[in-house]
Amino acid sequence: MPGLLLGDVFPDFEADSTVGRISLHAFLGNSCRTLIPQRCWGILFSHPRDYTPVCTTELGRAAKLSAEFSKRDVKMIALSLDSVEDHLGWSKDILAYNNDSSCNALPFPIIADNKRELAVKLGMLDPDERDKDGMPLTARCVFVIGPDKRLKLSILYPATTGRNFDELLRVIDSLQLTAQKRVATPVDWKPGDNVMVVPNLSDDEAASLFPSGVTTKDLPSGKKYLRYTPQP
C-alpha cells in the first residue's frame, strides 16, 4: 500500500456501488448498530473479479457472518473490478451458494471499480495475477478502519488465497479491546483468554488497573516482562 501506513487517515472517496453512490467516510460514519458515529468501525475487503470461485466463497462467508460484524459495530463493504450491474447479478450466485432464499440482496454493498482507479489508489493490484486481457487483478486486501477513520489493520493476500473471516473477527476483537484497555493480546488469543499487560505500565499501575490480578512468568533472564491478567 504505497504511502498508506497504520495510523494514517484512510482516504475518503466516492464510488458507485450496489446501494447507489456512496462516500466511504459518510458510509462508515453513520447507521452502525449503536447509531453512535464515534463507535462505528469499518472493514473494506477487495476482490479480483466477479463470477470467480474463491471470491464467491469469500463473499458468501462474509454474508453469513454479517451479524457478527454488526455486533461489533463494524460496517462491511466490498470492492471488485466490475460494474454495478455485474455485482448485482453475481450477488444472486453468492446467495445461491449460501443456499439463502430468505433475502434477495447481500447485507453489505459492493463497490464498482471497473476502471481500477481505487485499486491503483489503494495499492490493491497483484502484479502476478492477471485477467484474460493481461491486466493485473486486485489482490485480496483487508483494511480495518477505526471510528477516527484511521487505518488500524491491513492484510494483503494474493488473488489465489482465500481469506479466513473468522480470523478477521478475532483481530477486530483484539483491536477493539486494546483500543480501550492498556493490554495486548498474545499469540493465538481468543476472546475470553488472558491478555498481557503492556510493557510501559509499572507493576503498581498494573495492580491498580487490573484488580483481578496480574501473574508473571518466570524466565531465565530474570526479566518480568511476561505479565498476564484476565481479559478486562
What structural domains does the chain harbor?
Answer: 8-164 (3.40.30.10), 181-229 (3.30.1020.10)
Active site residue 55: yes
Catalytic annotation, pick one of 32, 40, 55, 141: 55
Query: Beta-carbon neighbour count of residue 195 at 10 Å?
Result: 22
Instruction: Report CA torsion sign: 28, 30, 36, 38.
Output: positive
Question: One digit per residue, pLDDT tens: the chain, 232 residues?
Answer: 456 889 999 999 999 999 999 999 999 885 555 555 557 899 999 888 899 999 999 999 999 999 999 999 999 999 998 999 999 999 999 999 999 877 789 999 999 998 888 888 888 877 666 666 666 666 688 999 999 999 999 998 888 899 999 999 999 999 999 999 999 999 999 999 999 999 999 999 999 999 999 999 999 999 999 999 999 9
Q: What is the DSSP code (8-state) at residue 2?
A: T
| Helical segments of the chain, H only | 24-28, 53-64, 66-71, 84-97, 117-121, 165-180, 203-209
Q: What is the distance between the alpha carbons of residues 83 and 190, in angstroms, rounded to a whole number?
A: 38
Q: What is the distance between the alpha carbons of residues 144 and 153, in angstroms, rounded to a whole number?
A: 5
